[in-house]
Structures are given as structure tokens and as C-alpha cells.
């Protein structure tokens, strides 16, 4: 319960990674504010489970994070100073060659993966500095460090998110506020199904063969799990992580070794 009394805002709350991060932070002592675009009824069971397990308070705001006005509406009901920890876990992945990628899809990918974190950071960072404590954690990707074909908007946004992380870290390094990026490889969740299906089409193999080959491409022969990402989030928020800032931390089974 190292984070007793802290409040964490987690975007992408309805997704597997966001939900697991929220659960781990609650179990570490945080009250949780979940933000996602789905209706409250869809996440009600997850909210109830987190409350029952952690005995912490959980609020939920439906919000289209691509829409800046929606984000500001959330903060009309929520005081920026209530947020001690911000985890930008919401994301989207579009697959298309550059010549086939529409301007609208590009704007939506950049909007959710990069602009929304910027807007949220902007809303909370001033009061974090004033309090002398804050943790900002952006869920980027190893695709922010390396690249592959047909996901240019995803790569651009996740690379930009690492740059934003570093810029924010520099600006608040002496204010008790840290900002770090976590860079997972393939995580076995529905979010990555479309990417594996794309690889399947490219190779002509079955989905299970493609998934196995993707796993075997990792030196550890393992995908990253949502729980491993959540544990790293909690570590970065704990006293042990207080002198880590501006880092892009791969959690990738060794993919970026070479």
C-alpha cells in the first residue's frame, strides 16, 4: 500500500491493459479515476471488482479522448489537483501502407495516441508541480523505438509520445514530478489481434502459426503480459522509482537487444 492516499487517472480503462493497471494501482492504495469512450454500464463490472478487491474509491468518466472538448468536460467535474498519477494507456492501431492511409485515420491515431496525452498532461502538471509530487506514465511501444511496415501513424504517434515524455521530464525534473514511457512489445490482448492478423495475411500462415512465430521472435519466447506492465507502473510510482524520469523503458522480451 505504498501509494495510500494518492489518486490515479488511467485512460483506456475499458481495455485489458488499462483495467489491469487501474487494478494494480488500486491494490497499491490509490483511488482510481477511469476514462474511456465506452458507456459506464460496460465497465460497471470492472469497477465493482476493483472496489471489492482494493476497498478503494473508483470513479469513471465516459470521454472520447480524440475530442479535446470532451477531455475538458471531464475536468469540469474533476479538479486537476485531485490527480497525483496520470497513466496514458489509451491507444489505437491502424494498419495501412502510407499511400493508402487516409488523412482522417492519421489524425485520429495521432489524436488518441499523442495529442490526448499532451492535453491531459497540460491539465494536471501545473498542480503536480505545486504539490511537489506527481507521476506521469505514458504507454508507448517498442514501435516508438524501432519500426516495421504498414503502421506509420502508430509508429509516428508512439515515437512522438517518447519525445513528449522526455520534454515533460526535463520541465519538471526538480519539482518532484517524474514522467516516463513504458514500451511494450506484443501484448496478448484483443488490441494486438489486428496486427497479428495483418502478419497472418502477409505470411499466408494460420493465425495460430503467426502468433507462435511472433512469440518465438522474442529472445525470451514470451509475450509481455498486462500484469507485467501494471507492475512496472506501480514501481515507477513508488519511492523506488522516484529518481527515474525521462526514460523509455522497453518491456519487450529482449526484442530491442540487437
Give me the active site residues, please: 154
User: Rounded to the nearest 5°, which phi and psi values hold at 162?
Assistant: -65, -40
What is the Cα–Cα distance from 187 to 166, expressed in whole angstroms? 24
Cα–chain center distance at 161: 10
Does residue 91 contact residue 117 with C-beta atoms inside 8 Å?
no
CA nearest neighbour of 49 among 65, 68, 62, 34: 34
DSSP-based three-state secondary structure for 87: strand
What are 181's strand-pairing partners?
138, 248
Helix (H) or strand (E) run with residue 134 in it: strand 134-139
* DSSP assigned state of 63: -
Q: What is the DSSP string of 205-256?
A: --HHHHHHHHHHTSTTS--B-HHHHHHHHHHHHSGGGTT--S-EEEESTTTT
> In the sheet where 248-251 sits, what is the strand order?
58-62, 31-36, 7-11, 85-88, 134-139, 177-184, 248-251
What is the Cα–Cα distance from 88 to 55, expressed in whole angstroms? 23
Helix (H) or strand (E) run with residue 62 in it: strand 58-62
What is the Cα–Cα distance from 60 to 76, expressed in whole angstroms? 14
Amino acid at each position: 500500500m505504498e501509494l495510500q492516499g494518492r489518486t490515479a487517472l488511467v485512460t483506456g480503462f475499458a481495455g485489458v491493459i488499462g483495467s489491469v493497471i487501474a487494478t494494480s494501482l488500486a491494490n497499491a492504495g490509490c483511488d482510481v479515476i477511469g476514462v474511456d469512450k465506452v458507456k459506464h454500464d460496460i465497465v460497471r463490472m470492472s469497477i465493482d471488482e476493483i472496489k471489492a478487491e482494493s476497498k478503494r474509491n473508483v470513479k469513471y468518466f465516459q470521454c472520447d479522448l480524440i475530442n479535446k472538448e470532451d477531455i475538458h468536460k471531464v475536468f469540469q467535474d474533476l479538479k486537476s489537483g485531485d490527480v497525483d498519477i496520470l497513466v496514458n494507456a489509451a491507444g489505437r492501431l491502424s494498419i495501412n501502407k502510407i499511400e493508402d492511409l487516409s488523412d482522417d485515420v492519421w489524425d485520429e491515431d495521432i489524436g488518441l495516441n499523442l495529442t490526448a496525452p499532451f492535453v491531459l498532461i497540460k491539465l494536471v502538471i501545473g498542480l503536480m508541480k505545486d504539490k511537489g509530487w506527481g507521476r506521469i506514465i505514458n504507454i508507448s511501444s517498442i514501435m516508438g523505438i524501432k519500426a516495421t511496415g504498414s503502421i506509420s501513424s502508430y509508429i509516428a504517434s508512439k515515437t512522438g509520445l517518447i519525445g513528449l515524455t522526455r520534454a515533460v521530464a526535463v520541465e519538471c525534473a526538480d519539482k518532484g514530478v517524474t514522467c516516463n514511457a513504458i514500451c511494450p512489445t506484443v501484448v496478448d490482448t484483443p488490441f494486438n489481434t489486428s496486427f497479428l492478423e495483418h502478419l497472418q495475411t502477409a505470411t499466408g500462415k494460420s493465425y495460430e502459426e503467426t502468433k507462435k512465430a511472433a512469440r518465438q521472435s522474442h529472445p525470451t519466447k514470451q509475450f509481455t503480459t498486462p500484469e507485467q506492465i501494471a507492475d512496472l507502473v506501480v514501481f515507477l510510482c513508488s519511492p523506488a522509482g522516484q529518481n527515474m524520469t525521462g526514460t523509455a523503458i522497453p518491456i519487450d522480451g529482449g526484442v530491442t537487444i540487437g
